[in-house]
Amino acid sequence: MEKFLIKGENRLEGELSIHGAKNSALPILAASLLSGECVIHNCPRLTDVDAACNILNYLGSTTKREETSIVVGASNSDNYCIPDDLMRMMRSSIVFLGAIIAKCGRARISMPGGCELGPRPIDLHLSALEKLGVVIEEDHGYLNCSVPGKLRGAHISLPFPSVGATENIMIAACLASGETVITNPAREPEISDLAAFLNACGAKICVTSEGNIHIFGVEKLYPAEHKVISDRIAAATYLSCGAITGGDILLKDVCCEHLAAVLPTFEEMGCTLSIEKDSVRIKSKFPLNPLKCVRTMPYPGFPTDAQSPLMAAACLAQGSSVFVENIFESRYKQVPELLRMGADIKVEGRVAVVHGVQELHSACVRCTDLRGGAAIAVAALAAQGESELLAIEHIDRGYENFENNLQSIGACIVRVNDGKE
The yes-or-no answer on residue 115 being catalytic is yes
The answer to whether residues 248 and 283 touch, using CB atoms and an 8 Å cutoff, is yes
* HSE value, Cβ hemisphere, 13 Å, CA-based, for 306: 30
| SS3 of residue 309 by DSSP | helix
**248 labelled as ligand-binding?**
no
290 is in an annotated binding site: no
* 366 is known to lie in a ligand binding site: no
120 is in an annotated binding site: yes
Q: Is 124 annotated as a binding residue?
A: yes
How many whole angstroms separate alpha carbon 81 and alpha carbon 337? Answer: 38
Return all residues near 137 (Cβ < 8 A) that are at least 6 apart: 143, 144, 145
Choosing from 53, 115, 241, 271, the catalytic residue is 115
Eight-class DSSP state of 193 = H
- Residue 40 CA to residue 34 CA, distance in Å, equals 14
Q: What angle do CA 403, 404, 409 make, to 5 degrees?
A: 100
Residue 278 labeled ligand binder: no
Q: Which of 178, 231, 230 is nearest to 204 (CA)?
A: 178
Query: Does 253 belong to an annotated binding site?
Result: no
Q: What residues does 281 pair with on adjacent strands?
A: 250, 274
Phi, psi of 204 (to 5 degrees): -125, 95
- Is 227 annotated as contributing to ligand binding? no
Annotated binding residue 88: no
Q: Report the C-alpha gap between 253 and 6 in whole angstroms.
A: 26
Q: What are phi and psi of 223, to 5 degrees?
A: -60, 150
Q: Contact, 307 vs 291, CB < 8 A?
A: no
Query: What distance in Å separates the CA atoms of residue 282 and residue 266, rounded to the nearest whole number?
Result: 8
What DSSP line would sit under 23-81, residue for residue?
A: HHHHHHHHHGGGT-SEEEES----HHHHHHHHHHHHTT--EEEETTEEEEPPP-----E
**Which positions make up the binding site for phosphoenolpyruvate?**
22-23
Residue numbers in the known binding site are 22-23, 91, 120-124, 305, 327
Known catalytic residues?
A: 115
Write out the binding residues for UDP-N-acetyl-alpha-D-glucosamine. Answer: 91, 120-124, 305, 327
